[in-house]
Amino acid sequence: MEMQAIRRVALVGGGVIGAGWAARLALNGLHVSLFDPDLRTPERVFGVLERAERAWRNLTLAPVRMSRDLLRFATSLEEAVADAGLVQESAPEREELKCELLRRIDASCPPDALIASSTSGLRPSRLQQGMRRPERFLVAHPFNPVYLLPLVELCGGRQTHPATIRRAEGFYRTLGMQPLVVRHEIDGFLADRLMEALWREALHLVNDGIATADELDRAVIYGCGLRWAFMGSFLTFRLGGGEGGMRHFIKQFGPALKLPWTRLDAPELTSDLVDRLVEQSDAQAEGRSIAELERLRDDCLVGVLQALKARGWGAGEVLRAYEERLYELTHPVVMGEDDDLAKPLRLHAARVAPEWVDYNGHMTESRYLQVFGDTSDALLRYIGVDSAYHAAGFSYFTVETHILHLREARANEALCATTQLLAADDKRIHLFHRLYRDGEDQLLATAEQMLLHVDTRASRACPARPEIVARLRRIAEAHAVLPRPPEVGRRVGEGRGRG
């Protein structure tokens, strides 16, 4: 049977893992039949489906094919698996229970269906012993939340046919997952053994009073955990060896494995083991130099940190607070009494980063918006809208932007922006920005923006604080004598000579 033919999947068990499988399968447009004797299962599963659909709509712009009509709840195991192309068992981690369920599944599902267990540590050879067709059984161990984390460990038992692994590998890839074939049957497989080692060491540190649970979690989320998201331990340590790579890293830091740092014994670093590590590390690098890998690492870290900053969480919250401080050091937090307000304000400068440019070598449209947004933020800090103001529950939201692109900005060019305040009242700010190459008078782009003052806790517009309004009025009165930019109020496609 071709993998594309698997359109119906049966799930046995609807707990955390089973419900996660239901969500990933339904999101992929597959028909799912689920059996669990717990009467609360439908409510739990539909709750997971709701969270999963929300997460996927944020994860990808690709169309989501989920319909709740794709999911049905069977009244018996036999009914659930009767027409399935694959059966995924996710019962509690008790070997006797799983063996009995797998025996019933094997006796009731179509003869060409794949049968997989979500077990996190039981050996497949033991689980498949009572099956009439053990050659079609394997472990397919996912990670929570199943609908988001792509890893699924595939492990066959002694009686599993190699074609079963290949078929399963192809199927799980169609779900947007990353199958990892465990080539040697072992308790706990691969990922859980790594997590268990860290967990055991952490428990010792808590038990000995050396650190708290929160301190140990912070050691991961602000440090090694960020790198593990895209490089794991081996590539990370390869970079730790500099130009000498993994061999130099082992030579320099290998002796530390003999120090009594952990409760885990390390293997002897024999020449055979070192050579094997170096060979495998070279293969991982795929010909990339240390410098190339370092750039890749830095780019990935920036992406992870920016994503965390958008959520105000972990290392991203540290970055957000640090940026606020840098902005406050770069720009005056509040304008001074003697500031020259008789001309457009110069409050923001930037440089076109290489990743800001498109295939033509020009700064992309979204980066113009970013620069103008940063320019508006600089004005807000200038009038006193700082982190304390935001913490009090007030801010300005941009409600309208019109950008006019006049000339190209190229990689590494220094930019500067000016701001003219067209009008302001207690709730609104009407701005006009001009963007130049630093030191030149030729316009690159302009932006007209309207900002609205909001109570962020009530999610509605409200008057700004009196001191903010007073500063805005000072600027507006000074800028009232400036020529009104001809681009203000233009419609799309309107000629540039309007004035």
Q: What is the pLDDT of residues 146-205, one digit of tens each?
A: 999 999 999 999 999 999 999 999 999 999 999 999 999 999 999 999 998 898 888 888
Task: Output the pLDDT for position 434.
Answer: 97
- Helix H or strand E encompassing 33: strand 31-35
Does 219 lie in the same domain as 153? no
Tell me the average pLDDT across 237-256: 88
CATH number at residue 284: 1.10.1040.10
Does 94 lie in the same domain as 33? yes
Confidence of residue 96 (pLDDT cuts 50, 70, 90): very high
Alpha-helix residue ranges (DSSP H) falling in 254-385: 271-285, 290-311, 315-330, 365-382
Confidence of residue 130 (pLDDT cuts 50, 70, 90): very high
Does 168 lie in the same domain as 103? yes
Query: Does residue 417 form part of some domain?
Result: yes
Query: Which of 389, 392, 371, 372 shows the shortest CA–CA distance to 381?
Result: 389
Does 154 lie in the same domain as 225? no
Does 212 lie in the same domain as 140? no
Does 150 lie in the same domain as 234? no
Rounded to whole angstroms, the Cα distance separating 81 from 83 reads 6
Task: Output the pLDDT for position 499.
Answer: 40
Are 373 and 413 in contact by the 8 Å Cβ rule? The answer is no
Query: Does residue 316 form part of some domain?
Result: no
Query: Does residue 323 form part of some domain?
Result: no
CATH number at residue 393: 3.10.129.10
Does 50 lie in the same domain as 135? yes
**Number of domains composing the chain:** 3
Does 72 lie in the same domain as 41? yes
Distances (CA, A) of 496 to 74, 365, 399, 436: 67, 19, 24, 18
Q: What is the pLDDT of residues 413-431, one digit of tens each?
A: 999 999 999 999 999 999 9
Residue where one domain finishes, among candidates 149, 173, 188: 188
Does 155 lie in the same domain as 68? yes
Are 319 and 309 in contact by the 8 Å Cβ rule? The answer is yes
Does 108 lie in the same domain as 84? yes
Average pLDDT value for the chain? 90
Does 168 lie in the same domain as 239? no
Residue where one domain finishes, among candidates 262, 284, 301: 301
Distances (CA, A) of 229 to 125, 149, 150, 224, 285: 32, 11, 12, 9, 17
Tell me the average pLDDT across 440-445: 92
Does 181 lie in the same domain as 42? yes
Query: Does residue 312 form part of some domain?
Result: no
Q: What is the residue range of 262's domain?
A: 192-301
CATH number at residue 105: 3.40.50.720
